[in-house]
Amino acid sequence: MELAAARTRARAAIALLLALAVASAFLCGAAQARHHHAKHTKRNSARAPGPAGASRHGGRPVSPPAPPPSSAPGAPAPAPGSGAAAVYDVVKDFGAVGDGVADDTDAIKTAWDVACQDDGDGVVLAAAGYSFLVHTTTFTGPCQGSVTIQLDGTIVAPSDPDKWPANNKRNWLVFYQTHGVALRGAGLIDGKGQKWWELPCKAHKGQGGSSGHGGSCDSPVALRFFNSNNVTVQGLKVQNSPEFHFRFDGCRGVQVRGLSISSPAQSPNTDGIHVENTSDVLIADTAVSNGDDCVSIGAGAMNLHIENVTCGPGGHGISIGSLGKQGTRACVANVTVRNAVIRQSDNGVRIKTWQGGSGSVSAVAFENVRMDAVRNPIIIDQYYCLSKSCDNATTAVFVSGVSYAGIRGTYDARSPPIHFGCSDAVPCTNITLADVELLPASSGDTVGDPFCWNVYGSAATPTVPPVSCLNDGVPRNFADGSSSLKCY
């Protein structure tokens, strides 16, 4: 009896001790949880406003485990540095609607701002299956870390020009000081430019002149990168911009790859990619079909490499210029265009300058370019003018050191296959040709003669058509002093 009673008392004591231990652990855990919550609440109170899901993690949403690879078409590409980058989903985390009707500007801009303030890698995700209406906005840096915009859905602009702010009709999506930014994905950016092109102030082909517009007819550039270094744009489809589709201005270190850019052949001033005051640029593996220059290279462009680019049908080909308008100084140097195709365009590879300017175009190489029914396959035009009243001048941008090698294909016989129209005051020098073969697109047409005016250079191999109109050597008054005309 006494032994049984002792065992009962021992069991009771053990049960009591266990109960006290459990209660103690519970109370300590609750206290620690309250302390942990208080610390995060205090830290997040000073951060930029964001969705609740983001603020619980200090403004940086935690990336979910990476799903297994998907073969479904349109599946978003994995974030760079898989598993390391924080993902800021504009729909799930920032409340974007994505129906193409609701205004998602604030959601996408806030996602950018939060990602930009966080250090480390961040991905702003606009997922497939959504269409985001975005009004004119500026994505501003510099950012604390690197930010990628992963666009696998669609971004659309307001279609009615009246919906745009009266004082901001020149840009749609601007990236300012966004060093290291990447814009990539399988998505679409649609500028909805149709109503802009129809404005009465636009000059259209067949209506009193070439495509272009008056100074009072501002239209937005779809994507402008301004004062941004180490920029990457890859894989996207961009269409129907009211004016230029891309503009890179004041940038250094730009890579553009794998883009599809399109707008109707009659859409005015819709350059595909415009580069000015920008250096160290690669444009590759890209197709452009539009109403103006496929790629346009403006003043201050240096060290450009363009490769595997297809232009047309339609458009004005690959152009350096126009340069020197209204007496301005323009400098372009070290440009290579290689392995390009230009189809049914008004121009092939072109250099265009206004009378009265200054500066220089130098060290330019056009290599292995295929022409398909192009109206002006090879053209230097130093009398560029958009009216019939441009006066001759005693100064001009100096064009020197331009080579054409492996330029082959067919041309529209309405214009000469080769046109070198250089300034009376400042001739073109050191123009060289090799392996050039250009035949009429229509079998009934005869091969046209090249046009040459005040141009010096040579043909290293026989050409079709023969270019016998080049002046040999260098002009007498340029023998010693031409270097002073060059910018670099």
Catalytically active residues, by annotation: 292, 316
How far apart are the C-alpha atoms of 298 and 320, rounded to whole Å? Answer: 6
Under a CB-based contact definition with an 8 Å cutoff, are residues 367 and 338 in contact? yes
Contact residues for 275 (Cβ-Cβ < 8 A; gap 6+): 248, 254, 281, 295, 296, 297, 298, 301, 304
Residue 162's contacts (CB-CB under 8 Å, 6 or more residues apart) are none
Q: Which residue(s) pair with 233 in the sheet?
A: 183, 256
The token pair that represents 227 in the structure block: 């004062």
Question: What's the Cα-to-Cα distance from 44 to each of 50, 94, 112, 238, rounded to whole Å?
Answer: 10, 17, 18, 38
Tokens of 42: 């205090």
Find out whether 309 and 283 touch, Cβ atoms under 8 Å.
Answer: yes
CA–CA dist 333, 365 (Å, integer): 10
CA distances to 65, 263, 314, 371 from 288, in Å: 38, 9, 9, 15
In this structure, is the dihedral angle defined by the CA atoms of residues 355, 278, 283 and 77, taken in order, positive or negative?
A: negative
The tokens describing 214, both together, are 């008056």
First CA to last CA across the chain, in angstroms? 111
Residue that is written with structure tokens 């205090």 in the block: 42
* Distance between CA atoms of residues 450 and 431, nearest Å: 14
Q: Is the sign of the CA dihedral 98, 104, 110, 113 positive or negative?
A: positive
Exposure string over 140-171, b if 16+ CB within 10 A, otherwise e: ebebebbbbbbbbbbbbbbbebeebeeeebeb
Ramachandran class of 195: left when φ > 0, alpha when ψ lies in -120 to 50, beta otherwise? alpha
